[in-house]
Amino acid sequence: MLKFENIIARKPCKAMLEGISTGMFSDDKPVYEKAVDQHQEYVETIESLGVKALVLDALEEYPDSCFVEDPAVVMKECAIITNSPRESRNGEKYEIVPAIKKFYADEQIFHIAAPGTMEGGDVMLVEKHFYVGLSDRTNKEGARQFNEIVSKFGYTSSTIPVTEGLHLKDFVIYLENNNMLVSAKMNEVPEFHEFNRFVVPTEELYAINSLNINGTVLVPEGYSKTLEHIKSLGYPVIVVNTDEFKKIDGSLTCLSLRF
Ligand code: CIR
């Protein structure tokens, strides 16, 4: 099992009201003050599981900058700075570097370069294999460069088309111990058939993006069927309210880099 010692998070900014939204989960605007409280609760919950948190200051220039999972992909051996194709998010890749440099030496830091694009929400690690979603945010060239980098460290990777919405991890999550949460569509993907899959009911789609932190699974508030399933697999669970982030398509994994 992956053992995380650190997370990097970034406080939400007031400009999050202008964050990008597909309307996939809600048409409402987030309430900044509530988001601040929810963010703090998220960080404290992860800290309560024995993980150290580096919490970065809010960045008003980038409405979606609290979603630090997207501008970088981190693992024990290296960090990869990604390259968002969305103009309002692309500059986050520069802003995350100082935090990354606190943990990684220069020779451990790599970059996805144009014409390659990628966001971390499309990258899912299963043991030593990365599944990389090909989406509106991550293209084939980005996935090719990613493969070249991670293969230096003994990882493999393959691509999975994302056709339902934003990122791969909105539709499939690996919970460890061979367990996966999937959408009905991801349930059909042959690469995932070797896993013990739970098809999350359509009305609970947001709960796919649950997050295993060192054996305990954080589950978004309000999704009883998925919660009961995760409990039945034997995981201790903690329910976390991320409703304000959900309004701009942000879920649990998006709010941290974990390593
Ligand atoms: C965006 O559309 O970029 C943000 N509003 C949401 C990003 C969510 N990130 C993630 O799932 N990793």
Annotation says 78 is catalytic: no
Per-residue pLDDT for 2 more than 90? no
Place of tokens 């493999």: 156
Pairing mode, if any, of strands 172-176 and 156-161?
unpaired
- C-alpha 247 – ligand 1 centre gap (Å): 10
pLDDT bin (cut points 50, 70, 90) of residue 93 is very high
Q: Which of 249, 255, 258 to mutate to test the pocket of ligand 1 (most atoms within 8 A of CB)?
A: 249
Which residue among 66, 78, 167, 229 is the active-site one? 167
Residue 1 is predicted with a pLDDT of 78
Q: Which of 248, 257, 258 to mutate to test the pocket of ligand 1 (most atoms within 8 A of CB)?
A: 248
- In short, whether 70's Cβ falls inside 6 Å of ligand 1 is yes
| Averaged pLDDT, 27-40 | 97
Which residue among 13, 66, 78, 254 is the active-site one? 254
How far is it, in rounded angstroms, from Cα 193 to Cα 210?
A: 20
Residue 98 is predicted with a pLDDT of 98
pLDDT in tens, 154-188: 999 999 999 999 999 999 999 999 999 999 999 99
Ranges 24-28, 35-39, 248-252: which has the least confidence: 24-28
pLDDT in tens, 6-20: 999 999 999 999 999
Atom of ligand 1 nearest to the CA of 248: 5
- Please give the backbone phi and psi of residue 112, each rounded to the nearest 5 degrees, phi first: -90, 125
| Averaged pLDDT, 76-86 | 98
Residue 133 is predicted with a pLDDT of 98
Atom of ligand 1 nearest to the CA of 19: 5
pLDDT bin (cut points 50, 70, 90) of residue 237 is very high
CB 16 within 8 A of CB 66: yes
How far is it, in rounded angstroms, from Cα 141 to Cα 135?
A: 12
- In short, whether 247's Cβ falls inside 6 Å of ligand 1 is no
| Averaged pLDDT, 50-60 | 98
- C-alpha 213 – ligand 1 centre gap (Å): 20
Single-letter amino acid code for the residue at 4:
F
- C-alpha 139 – ligand 1 centre gap (Å): 16
Residue 214 is predicted with a pLDDT of 97
| Averaged pLDDT, 35-43 | 98
Annotation says 66 is catalytic: no
Per-residue pLDDT for 136 more than 90? yes
| Averaged pLDDT, 102-118 | 98
pLDDT bin (cut points 50, 70, 90) of residue 110 is very high
| Spans of all domains in the chain | 6-164+242-258
Question: Count of CB atoms within 10 A of residue 215's CB?
Answer: 14
Residue 61 is predicted with a pLDDT of 98
Query: Does domain 6-164+242-258 match CATH 3.75.10.10?
Result: yes
Contacts for 22-30: CB closer than 8 Å, 24+ residues apart: 22/165, 22/166, 22/249, 24/165, 24/166, 24/170, 24/249, 25/205, 25/206, 25/246, 25/247, 25/249, 26/246, 26/247, 28/247, 29/247, 30/244, 30/245, 30/247, 30/248
CB 124 within 8 A of CB 131: yes
Atom of ligand 1 nearest to the CA of 209: 11
What is the pLDDT of the chain when averaged over all its residues?
97
- In short, whether 167's Cβ falls inside 6 Å of ligand 1 is yes
